[in-house]
Amino acid sequence: MSQPEPAARAGHPEIHEPGGAYGDWRAVPRSHPAPYGSTAPAPAAAAYRAAVATAAAVFPEVETPEVAVFPEAATPRAAAPEAVAPGAGSAYPARAAGGATSTGSHRRVPPPRRGSRSTPIERSAATRSRRVRTYTGMAAAAVTTVLAVVVAGQVVGEDGGSHLGVQSAGDTGTDRAAPGQSAASRSDGRATPDAPAVGAGQQAVVKTYEQKMADPYPIAANLAGPGTFDTVATGAPAPGKGRLVRYRVDVEQGLGLDADLFAEAVQRTLNDPRSWAHDGDMRFERVVSGTVDFAITLASPGTTGVWCAKSSLDTTVDNVSCDSASTERVMINAFRWAQGSSTYGQNQMVAYRQMLINHEVGHRLGHDHVSCRTPGALAPIMQQQTKSLDIDGISCKPNPWVYPSS
Q: What pLDDT shows up at residue 203?
A: 77
Nearest to 352 by CA among 369, 364, 368, 335: 335
Q: What pLDDT shows up at residue 193?
A: 44
- How close are the terminal C-alpha atoms of the chain, in Å? 112
45 alpha carbon, distance to own chain's centre: 46
Residue 65 one-letter amino acid: P
Average pLDDT over residues 117-135: 54
pLDDT of 130 above 90: no
Residue 176 CA to residue 166 CA, distance in Å, equals: 10
Q: Is the Cβ–Cβ distance between 283 and 248 less than 8 Å?
A: no
Q: What pLDDT shows up at residue 131?
A: 60
Q: Residue 268 burial (CB < 10 Å; 0-12/13-18/19+)?
A: middle
Average pLDDT over residues 8-19: 43
pLDDT of 298 above 50: yes
pLDDT of 28 above 60: no
Q: What pLDDT shows up at residue 205?
A: 86
pLDDT of 270 above 60: yes
pTM of the model: 0.53
Q: What are phi and psi of 279, to 5 degrees?
A: 60, 30
pLDDT of 309 above 60: yes
Residue 361 CA to residue 382 CA, distance in Å, equals: 10
Q: Is the Cβ–Cβ distance between 155 and 162 less than 8 Å?
A: yes
The CA R_g of the chain, rounded to the nearest whole Å, is 48
Q: What is the DSSP string of 234-263?
A: --BPPPSSSEEEEEEEEEETT--S-HHHHH
Residue 129 CA to residue 357 CA, distance in Å, equals: 92
Residue 266 CA to residue 248 CA, distance in Å, equals: 10
Nearest to 349 by CA among 205, 206, 207, 212: 212
Q: What pLDDT shows up at residue 142?
A: 58
Q: Is the Cβ–Cβ distance between 330 and 361 less than 8 Å?
A: yes
